């Protein structure tokens, strides 16, 4: 894993509050309504952006964060976590949890009394704030007072559901694209060889037959020249993935196969729904949008 020295956060506030003068400031698009330094706020909002774990930043979400800071009149801290595939799981989780702990420890620098802390995130960001809450519970750290998740994926492991089937042909966010995002987050290299040039009797993920990247029948295989006369044994899963390759293309079928074989999507620090009931029942008030 590549090294990154700092976790970046951005503080947005419509008004200057006590303690904020200790932080480096940048001129806002909004004019403050007063030149006075106001008392600390009792509420603070920690925001984690979405983007499929691979894209966007706090800056891309300022289109609504700045109006929130203006309308709510509270400080907002937005976290710029490291993105996949350069920084795969669990990097984003650890950085967001570190930022959460730093906020609790440095409340006075943020113009916050430390009274009420809310977490909000969209898509991948909603997943991350949910896992931050889980880690806070596991570590015996103070829990947030509430979390708000917008269109959040809580179960990242492979499963068949009506919504996922409907998303196969979605023109905006189809399942193939989502699988590629998840594969990047799980650390599955997109430039890995799809197949082995030879086929053994025991067809395994490491020694797969070569499948035509265009279109092949599930019963067709292209063995290496060296073993062209060798009988090839097919397992049910081999025929299944060959059929997927025919429908989706070899690359998408490869990602799906790797995701199904990986234990990471079933880890509760990646799929919050896999957390124990004891952990989930300790959650604060949670709003799903």
pLDDT one-digit tens code per residue, 73-91 = 999 999 999 999 999 999 9
Share of the chain above pLDDT 70, in %: 71
The domain segmentation of the chain, as residue ranges, is: 8-156+267-288, 162-264
Alpha helices in the chain (DSSP H): 62-72, 91-105, 124-139, 162-166, 175-185, 236-248, 250-261, 277-280
| Res 138 pLDDT > 90 | yes
Between helix 250-261 and helix 236-248 the angle, nearest 10°, is: 140
pLDDT of amino acid 251: 65
Separation of alpha carbons 88 and 177, rounded Å? 17
For 102, the enclosing helix (H) or strand (E) is: helix 91-105
Separation of alpha carbons 48 and 96, rounded Å? 8
CATH 3.20.20.140 fits 8-156+267-288, yes or no: no
Collapse the DSSP code of 259 into the 3-class scheme (helix H, G, I; strand E, B; otherwise coil) and give the result: helix
Structure tokens at 150: 């917008």
Q: Identify the residue with better confidence: 61 or 4.
A: 61
Between helix 124-139 and helix 91-105 the angle, nearest 10°, is: 60
Q: pLDDT tens, 176-198?
A: 788 889 999 999 886 444 443 43
C-beta pairs of 20-27 under 8 Å, 24+ apart in sequence: 20/75, 20/109, 20/110, 20/111, 22/109, 23/109, 23/110
Q: Identify the residue with better confidence: 243 or 278.
A: 278
pLDDT of amino acid 257: 76
Separation of alpha carbons 60 and 212, rounded Å? 40
Residue 76 pairs with which residues in a beta bridge?
Answer: 12, 45
Task: Provide the pLDDT confidence category of residue 261 given band limits of 50, 70 and 90.
Answer: confident
Q: Identify the residue with better confidence: 41 or 28.
A: 41
| Res 239 pLDDT > 60 | no
Residue range 17-44: mean pLDDT, rounded: 79
Helices (H) and strands (E) counted in the chain, each on its own, are 8, 6
Task: Provide the pLDDT confidence category of residue 199 given band limits of 50, 70 and 90.
Answer: very low
CA distance between the termini of the chain: 34
Whole-prediction pTM value?
0.78
Closest CA to 245 of 176, 183, 196: 176
| Res 236 pLDDT > 70 | no
Residue range 196-203: mean pLDDT, rounded: 39
Residue range 121-139: mean pLDDT, rounded: 99
The vertex-9 CA angle with 4 and 10, nearest 5°, equals 145
């Amino acid at each position: 894993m590549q090294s990154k020295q700092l976790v970046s956060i951005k503080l947005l506030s419509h008004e200057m509050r006590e303690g904020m003068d200790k932080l480096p400031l940048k001129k806002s698009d909004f004019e403050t309504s007063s030149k006075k330094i106001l008392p600390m706020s009792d509420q603070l909002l920690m925001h984690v952006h979405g983007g499929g774990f691979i894209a966007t930043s706090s800056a891309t979400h300022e289109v609504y964060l700045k109006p929130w800071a203006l309308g709510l009149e509270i400080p907002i801290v937005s976290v710029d976590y490291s993105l996949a595939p350069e920084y795969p799981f669990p990097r984003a989780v650890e950085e967001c949890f570190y930022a959460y702990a730093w906020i609790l420890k440095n409340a006075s620098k943020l113009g916050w009394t430390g009274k009420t802390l809310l977490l909000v995130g969209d898509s991948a960001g909603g997943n991350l704030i949910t896992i931050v809450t889980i880690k806070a519970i596991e570590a015996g750290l103070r829990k947030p007072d509430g979390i708000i998740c917008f269109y959040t994926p809580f179960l990242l492991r492979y499963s068949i559901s009506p919504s996922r089937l409907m998303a196969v042909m979605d023109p905006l966010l189809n399942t193939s694209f989502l699988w590629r995002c998840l594969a990047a987050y799980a650390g599955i290299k997109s430039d890995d060889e799809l197949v082995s040039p030879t086929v053994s009797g025991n067809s395994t993920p490491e020694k797969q037959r070569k499948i035509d990247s265009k279109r092949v029948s599930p019963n067709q295989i292209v063995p290496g020249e060296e073993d062209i006369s060798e009988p090839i044994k097919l397992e049910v899963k081999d025929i299944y993935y060959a059929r997927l390759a025919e429908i989706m293309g070899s690359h998408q079928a490869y990602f799906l196969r790797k995701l199904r074989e990986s234990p990471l999507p079933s880890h509760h620090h990646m799929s919050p729904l896999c957390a124990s009931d004891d952990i989930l029942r300790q959650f604060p008030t949670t709003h799903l949008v």
